[in-house]
Structure formats: structure tokens, C-alpha cells
Amino acid sequence: MEAGQGKLEVFITKKSIIRAINSLPKPQILTLSNLDLLSGRFPVTYLYFYPNPEAASFTSIIESVKCSLAETLSYYYPFAGRIVQNPVTAEPEIVCDNNGALVVEGHANISLKKLEFYNLNQCLQGKLVSISPDFPLHVQVTHYTCGGISIAFNFDHALGDASSFGKFLLSWSEIAQNKTLSCMPNHQRNLYPRYPPTYHPFLDQIFVKCTIEDIINMPTTNILLKRLYHIDASSINKLQHIACANGNKRTKIEAFSAYIWKIMVTAIDKKHERCKMGWLVDGRGRMHGAQDPMSDYIGNVLSVTVGEASVAELKLGSISDIAAIVHETISKVTDEKHFQDLIDWIECHRPGLMLPKIVLGRGGPAVVLSSGRRFPVAELNFGFGSPVLGTVCSTIEKIGVGYFNQRPSAQNDGSWTVSAILWPELAAALESDPIFEPMSANHLQL
């Protein structure tokens, strides 16, 4: 039996600053777009596990990671910059000066099979993920007693959104495998407001200008459980089939959302008569019709849409009925006009912090769902094999809303990996149903 079984400890052994091989001729200032300002500065973390690296040793793995990262940063130069406050506008901007990215090496005291994959609270702060405010990109490579490794990639949200980070990580893995880059990144951040700015009043219902005090003093919640689930492909297909009753065409995400929303109302205080669900929506591919000149755009192009329904309606309604509400809500933010209106709304409320109201815990119980169906998982081979698991995870300690994020399984079998931030009653309700399977080593074939 291994020492330390069941209790993960990680010992940090080395920290290195990695700079781009080919830096810009002179430092440049990258002004953030309005949509960057809306996304804010909180950390975004992705966690990947590799059980049997093909490289000979942890030392060779680290060297491979560092060398390929240095080359990747030559293309994604803002990721090696510094994020500072503009002295005039007081808004953040990126100084592209090749300050570098931070790579941390650590050693765990257990094997991958002994990890509690389901319980992300045990794996994050101070263990598999650490954060340095001086580096907007921070990577931690952790070695386990079995020879496997995990890699945590931590990004400042000002650098971009999930689409941007997915392109960065895919480019990095392509460089590590000596492949041709599939993306030549566009760092222009050229999302400008109209003059005069104008927007639909609907946006005032979704977003709000706020202060740091509003964030610090958001209502205290018990949304503290960070969990990781496996959703089998057969369960997803079954939900979609049910949601498509009566001849309706519904996506897997719409069906999955309806399922979560219906269960959620059984796990909230009975004093609430209504509850909400929100979705993050990527504007790429929506802002220019059928043409997509933004496919390689690096930055934030995200909006949020929020649906509301009565508890009675959700309890009595079928999955198909609730999926119709989901579909209608998401459809409100799927065109260029919405995103241009959002850019203008932000322009009218600058300077300062702006957030979706739902994130601040205003307006009763709610959950937000984000889909990562295009995010690279199995593809992230950095020269020592493909991962068995890739997920997003959060180091945020206080949040006003439940959160779900879906990713394709690294097995490429149609199943999903879902990370979640939950309150205990919702976790219990989900896990009493067979669809949400707590992630374990058995799901990863370790």
C-alpha cells in the first residue's frame, strides 16, 4: 500500500520562466476590447492527465514542454506579456514584452489511480494548480509515483476565452509534434463600438455595472463543492431523443440543460417560486453570418443569456418542454446584432467592472452552463502520448451561481466529462440519478 494513500500531497521542486524564442522587435501595448473587459481578470484553468508518457523520463518531458512552449509563445506573444493597469483609463492592458510564462514542476506522493478525480476540491488550490499574479500564463507539471503526469494550464481571462485557449493549446501540441500549425492567431482585438453606441434594453436585464465591493459582498452561498462527472454517450443520446419529442430538433446541450434544470428545482429552498439558468455563448461564427473571419481571433467573444421559469413549470414540464425554453433563450443571442449591442452596452458603462447579474447571485437560485464540445482534449499530445482526461476546473473560492462545463471525453467515444461547482443538495440530487457518474480511475482505464 502506498504511503499517503487517499491524501494527495504535491512538492514543488522547480520554477522556470519560459520566454518566446522569437520576440517582437520592441514591446507593444495590446488594448483590450470591450468584450475582454466584460470577461474580467479571473483565472481559467485546464487540467490534463497522462498515465504512461512515452518519453523516457520526467526530465525529458519537462524539457519537451519548455522547448515547445517557447516556440508557441513566438506565435501567441501576448501570453508571454504582462497585464497592467493603464494609468489614464485605469483599465487593464497587455504589455507584450516577452516577460515570459511560468512553468512549475512538482512531484505527487501517490499514483494516478489513487487520485480522487471526482473531488476537485482536493486537487486544486496549492496542489495541482497554483497561481502567480505576475504571469498571465502559468503551467504546472506534476509527476506521480506511477510515472504518470498531470499538466495544469492557468490563464488570465484577459488573454482570451475558451476558444482562444483551445487554439493556443492545440498549437502548442502541434509544435511539440512537429506538425504544421492549424491556426495562425489573430491578436488584433478589433471589436469596436458604434458611434453613438446603442443597445437593446434586454441587456440591462442580464448585465450590470458593479464594484469590487459588490463582488466581495455578494450573497454568501454554499456553492462550494467542485466535482467531476462522467456522462456516458448512451445517456446523452437518450436525453436528446427525449428532448426531440413532438418533432422538435434539439441539440445535445439543450437536452442536457433541460435535464439539469428539471433536477435543480428539486434541490432549492421551497421559498423560491422561480429559478434561472444561464448559458455562455461564443460569438465567433455568429458575428459575420456564414463567413467566419473570426475563426482565429484570440481574445474574448463571449456573451451570456439567461432563461427563467417557475418552479411549478419546471417540475411539471417534460424534458421536451423545458428544452424548448432552453432553445428559445439561447436563440436570443445567436446573431451579430446581439454581440454588437453588447459591445455598445459595455461602452456606455465604462470604466469599471461589469458582470452578468446571475454571476453575482442576484435574483435567486441559478446555474450557468458552458459547452466545450470543440475544445481539444484527446488531441493534446505534447510529444509523450495522448491524455486520458482533460477538463476545466476553477480555483475561485466564492461564486454566486452553480456552474457546469462540458467537455468531450479523451476516449473519443461520445461520452462527456462534466466539471461542476455545486451546492450540496444539487450534488445529491444529481448523483441519485444514474446519468451523473462521479469520475473515477475506472472511467479512465488507468
The DSSP secondary-structure symbol of 186 reads: B
Catalytic residue among 34, 98, 154, 157: 157
Calculate the dihedral angle through the C-alpha atoms of 75, 81, 85, 87, rounding to the nearest 10 degrees. Answer: -90
CB 20 within 8 A of CB 113: no
* Residues 413, 231: Cα–Cα separation, whole Å: 11
CB 5 within 8 A of CB 92: no
List alpha helices for 280-423, DSSP H: 311-316, 319-331, 336-349
Q: Which of 417, 437, 435 is nearest to 47 (CA)?
A: 417
* Residues 263, 317: Cα–Cα separation, whole Å: 11
What are residue 311's phi and psi, to 5 degrees? -60, -40
Please report, for residues 137, 154, 162, 329, 391, the alpha-carbon distance to residue 43 in angstroms, rounded to integers and kept in the order given: 10, 6, 12, 28, 15
- Return the number of other C-beta atoms located less than 10 Å from residue 340's C-beta: 19
**Catalytic status, residue 381:** yes
**Catalytic status, residue 157:** yes
| Residues involved in catalysis | 157, 381
